[in-house]
Amino acid sequence: MNPANGKSLDYKIMVVDDEKKIADLYSIILRSAGFAVDHIVYDGIEAIDAIASNPMNNPDVILIDQKMPRMDGLEASRKIKEINPEIKIIMITAYDVPRDSRSVFSLILSKPISKRQLLEAIENV
């Protein structure tokens, strides 16, 4: 339980970013704040495969980068929502997200983001 806002920290989180150092950094920040980062994957296809292959253990929240090789975060997020519409997805991007695609996301954060912004996003999603 987060004493600041009374919300549970029991979220299972997936981090999706093609830059391993960034994915690892997000994971370290989240774990140090008491969140369970159950999956770290490095592109959209890996994220979809993880969601589809284990529907009983899907994350509650996905933190996803927009620009990635093989499949970007936008397309991956659409497909993930088709598999499990209950998953909350937070897009982290340095690029504009088309208006007609924004409804896929629970929240869109603009890079660069601070540790505080990352934690607040997860706590408030």
Nearest of 17, 8, 13 to residue 66 by alpha carbon: 17
Distance separating alpha carbons of residues 11 and 17, to the nearest angstrom: 19
Query: 20 falls in which pLDDT band (50, 70, 90)?
Result: very high
Residue 113 has pLDDT above 90, yes or no: yes
Helix, strand or coil, per DSSP, at residue 92? strand
- Computed on alpha carbons and rounded to an integer, the radius of gyration of the chain in Å comes to 13
Q: What are phi and psi of 124, to 5 degrees?
A: -105, 0
Distance separating alpha carbons of residues 11 and 99, to the nearest angstrom: 28
Residue 98 has pLDDT above 70, yes or no: no
Asked if 47 contacts 64 with a C-beta cutoff of 8 angstroms, the reply is: yes
12-100: CATH number: 3.40.50.2300
- Sketch the domain layout of the chain as residue ranges: 12-100
Asked if 72 contacts 45 with a C-beta cutoff of 8 angstroms, the reply is: no
Q: For 22-65, what is each residue's pLDDT tens digit?
A: 999 999 999 999 999 999 999 999 999 999 998 888 999 999 99
Task: Please list the residues that pair with 109 across neighbouring strands.
Answer: 92
